[in-house]
Amino acid sequence: MKTQQIEELNQALESTMGNVGAIKLKLQKEYNKYFDSNQELQKVLANAESATEYQLDEMGEIESWFRANILEDFSDCREYFENYLSETNCMRVDWVNSCLLNSQGDSLIIQDDCRHRRDNGVWFGHKQVISQSDYWSEEEYLNNTSGEIDTEKRNQLIEQYMEKTGYFLGVFRVDRNGNVFLVNTQKKD
């Protein structure tokens, strides 16, 4: 059975926490107004939205990154700035590298030059949806020392996969060093 002192201390703690929570909500609203009105920040966010440098995040998902020296201006209000970016732009901050990170969402990932042949192909999440053998036969692989693949056939298979599923995804190629490149799979006229 709880003592009266424990009950009183719990109530005092809840009361204090309630005040802190309410103050933090008000602060977030005020910071949001400040961030919204900061023209330099809004330009940086627009540039980060259209960034074309890509990397794999910790979970193996594709994200774009954009270096922004302006981020140090918000280091004294990191919590509020991170909340703002998450809620309004679905972005994260890499404070160490002064970068804004933007998830590319569900993506198809091409792995054509991995060290292990069984890993090569086109992946959606952790599932291989197109095997490299579909666009490069084992015989071609064994006889082809240059490492070339039929990219046109691969791209056709990717387009067919997206048409069949009705799910049109970003397509990226990841090389054996972990470098990430955006791939245009549509036919060039």
| Phi/psi of residue 23, nearest 5 degrees | -65, -40
Write the pLDDT tens digit of every residue in 17-44. 666 777 788 889 999 999 999 999 999 9
**How far is CA 127 from each of CA 2, 11, 32, 108, 157, rounded to the nearest angstrom?**
53, 51, 40, 10, 16
Its pTM stands at 0.75
What ranges do the domains of the chain cover?
4-103, 107-182
Judged against a pLDDT cut of 60, whether residue 140 lies above it is answered with yes
> Quick one: pLDDT at residue 4?
75
Write the pLDDT tens digit of every residue in 86-126. 999 999 999 999 999 999 999 999 887 655 556 678 888 87
What tokens appear for 57 in the block? Answer: 């995040």
**How far is CA 119 from each of CA 1, 66, 181, rounded to the nearest angstrom?**
60, 29, 18
Write the pLDDT tens digit of every residue in 55-80. 999 888 999 999 999 999 999 999 99
| 178 vs 75: CA distance, rounded Å | 30
Residues 146, 113: contact at Cβ < 8 Å?
no
Following CA atoms 82, 87, 89, 90 in sequence, which dihedral angle do they give, to the nearest 10 degrees? Answer: 80
Write the pLDDT tens digit of every residue in 44-53. 999 999 999 9
Task: Name, in order, each residue with C-beta under 8 angstroms of 116's C-beta and a sequence gap of 6 or more.
Answer: none
Q: Model confidence at 6, in pLDDT bands (50, 70, 90)?
A: low
